[in-house]
Every structure is written in C-alpha cells, then in structure tokens.
Amino acid sequence: MTMKALLSKAPGPPESLVLEEIPAPVAGEGQLVIDVKAASVNFPDSLMIQDLYQFKPPRPFAPGGEVGGIVKAVGAGVTRFKVGDRVLAVPGHGGFAEEVAVPERGNVFAIPDAMTFEDASSLLLTYGTSQYALKQRANLKPGETLLVLGASGGVGVAAIELGKAMGATVIAGVSSPDKAAFAEAAGADKTLVYPRELDKEKQKALSEAFKQAGGGGIDVVYDAVGGDYAEPALRAMNWEGRFLVIGFPAGIPKIPLNLTLLKNCQIVGVFWGAFTQRDPKGHAANVAELFALYEQGKIKPRISARYPLARGGEAIRELMDRKASGKIVLVLD
C-alpha cells in the first residue's frame, strides 16, 4: 500500500518540499495508524525543514506536528483505541501525509463527537502550550493582567482565549492593526500595536505603553516572540509578576538579571512537549479540561486559511512571512 506525503528531502525553505507516493506506514506493536483528515501548520514546521529546530528527524521526512483523523489500523498490544475512532495526535512530524503512525502511549486522544477534524488538528500544540503555561507555570489568577506578545499567532491567540476563560484582563501585543482586530475578535480586552523594528528609545516607549495598558503594570507576560520585545515587557512587570518564556520568532533575547530583583518577579521557562512526556497524567487532565472548554464554546481554534496537502509548502510560507493569523490547516479529502 502507498500514500501521498509532502517530503523534506534536503534542508531548505518550504518551496523545497515535494509531494511523493511512498509506502504507507504499518501499525507496529503499540502503534496506531491514523488516516489523516486535517493537519495544522505550526512554527516548528518552518524550522524543522531547514534543520533549525532542536529536534532533527532523519530524511526524508514529512513535516506536520499535529493531526486530526480516524484510526485506520492498530498494532499488537493497543488497548486504548480501535479502528474507526476519531482522534487527534501530536506526532511531532509526519503529519503532512495521508497516513501517520503514532505510539498509543504518545500524544494521541479520542476527540469529542462535536469536534471537527480541522479543530482537532489545531488544538493541542497551541492550546495545550498556553494552558500549561498559564495554569501550571504562571498560576494565573482571576483579575490579574496578562500581556500576550505575538497575540495573533497560533499559541498567542490560544493564550488570549484561555486567559479570558481564567478571568484575566488580557492585553494583546501584535505587529499590525489587522492583527489587532483579529486579537480583539478573539477576546482581548486591549490591543497594542508594536513597531516591527525596535531601537533603545522605542523599547523604552514600548515598556511605558505596556505598563499603561496594564493599568500600571503587568502580572503575567506570555512571550511567544522574544527578541527586542522581551526586555520592554519584563520592565513593565508588577511585583511578583511571572514572565513566561514561550518562543523566539524574533530571536533569543539576553536579559539583565537585575530586573528580576528590582521587580521581585520570576522568569519561567515553558517546555510543553517535555511536560506531556514527563507528566502524562497531568497532561491528560489538561486535555480533558481543554475538551470541556471546547464543548462549552469557550475556546475555538481560529482557522484563517486552508490548503490541500500538495500546497503545504505555501501554507508554511504564509506562516513564515507573518501573513497568517491564528491557524492554517491542510485539509485532506
């Protein structure tokens, strides 16, 4: 049996991906094979195909970190799933293909009846990360101010929705008025458009603007951008604030540590993927909570563009060029 997959055969840009017919995966012991119905695009896809990500799969490989689909086959020893189950999974890569094999003990869950495959493919990496960050790492409390940097992106918009669901006042930092409107529609209380380039003066002004937007200061910063934006956000923090380190599309910032002393605040690292492996029970409880929030209509992946599998490279390009808002999804028939 064969299947179509969008392959990275050499490190390169999204345009280097090629659609090929390759042998379909077989469910080995403890594995299930998923018939992929939808696969979403995430920032790590853009890094992985260029060999710029912390994890480098052997080539050829298909990018695609998360999928929604139907269990097509189960291997020996699989007890949690049967053929025909509707599931979501986070294989890390391999999702831009008609089928993907995942370990039963990995990041795979049966989805509620009401959840579409597109939403299923757009849930865990973004909402899972933001939920773990805000709940377990920041202990965000009702009434606190939450500043989200990169608020119109995948994890950012999930942080807006979850921050609101947790009772925070949410300030969305974005790079254009269009993205501000998008963040507002997702529930942000305030939006702040920051410049695309920052010098020292602009950093100072941005820090003041963050403070003002927070009514004097910020309790929790969710930094999905890094670069020159991190320090102004840290300088705007309240006493005992928590600064969440999520990602670095704008570069890895260097922070003067004296700021943490002056603010009596914490800089908190967030590594959601490792958390899901180290604490599978805690992760499963978080997923159950996300499913409940989805069924109550409190969270809803904001899918702004859909592509067929063959055009997956264009989908990654859209994300890399900062043209995307929310999620982009590859839809397989």
Ligand X SMILES: NC(=O)c1ccc[n+]([C@@H]2O[C@H](COP(=O)([O-])OP(=O)(O)OC[C@H]3O[C@@H](n4cnc5c(N)ncnc54)[C@H](OP(=O)(O)O)[C@@H]3O)[C@@H](O)[C@H]2O)c1
Which residues are near ligand X by CB under 6 A? 42-44, 125, 129, 150, 152-156, 174-175, 179, 224-225, 227, 246-250, 270-273, 319, 322, 324
CA dihedral of 136, 138, 143, 148, whole degrees rounded to 10? -110
Rounded least distance, CB 276 to ligand X, Å: 9
What is the longest distance spanned by two Cα atoms in the chain? Answer: 63
Toward ligand X, which CB reaches closer, 116 or 136? 136
Instruction: Write out the two tokens for 329.
Output: 């999804």
Toward ligand X, which CB reaches closer, 113 or 200? 200
Rounded least distance, CB 248 to ligand X, Å: 5
Toward ligand X, which CB reaches closer, 43 or 61? 43
Rounded least distance, CB 256 to ligand X, Å: 21
Rounded least distance, CB 82 to ligand X, Å: 30
Rounded least distance, CB 277 to ligand X, Å: 12
Toward ligand X, which CB reaches closer, 33 or 171? 171
Instruction: Write out the two tokens for 9.
Output: 């055969």
Instruction: Write out the two tokens for 59.
Output: 């080539």
Other beta carbons within 10 Å of 12: 13
Residue keyed to tokens 């049996």: 1
Rounded least distance, CB 311 to ligand X, Å: 18
d(CA 194, CA 179): 11
Toward ligand X, which CB reaches closer, 29 or 178? 178
Rounded least distance, CB 45 to ligand X, Å: 8
Among candidate residues 142, 194, 195, the one with its CA nearest the CA of residue 170: 142
Q: What is the DSSP letter of 315?
A: H
Rounded least distance, CB 175 to ligand X, Å: 3
Other beta carbons within 10 Å of 65: 25
Instruction: Write out the two tokens for 264.
Output: 């009596």
Q: What is the DSSP letter of 306?
A: E
Residue keyed to tokens 């990041």: 107
Q: Which residues pair with 108 in a beta bridge?
A: 89
Helix, strand, or coil (residue 263): helix
Toward ligand X, which CB reaches closer, 27 or 213? 213
d(CA 213, CA 193): 11
Rounded least distance, CB 295 to ligand X, Å: 23
Toward ligand X, which CB reaches closer, 74 or 155? 155
Helix, strand, or coil (residue 110): strand
d(CA 225, CA 311): 27
Instruction: Write out the two tokens for 267.
Output: 């800089």
Among candidate residues 262, 225, 216, the one with its CA nearest the CA of residue 244: 225
Toward ligand X, which CB reaches closer, 154 or 313? 154
Toward ligand X, which CB reaches closer, 54 or 296? 54
CA 104 and chain centroid, separation? 22
* In the complex, residue closest to ligand X by CB: 153
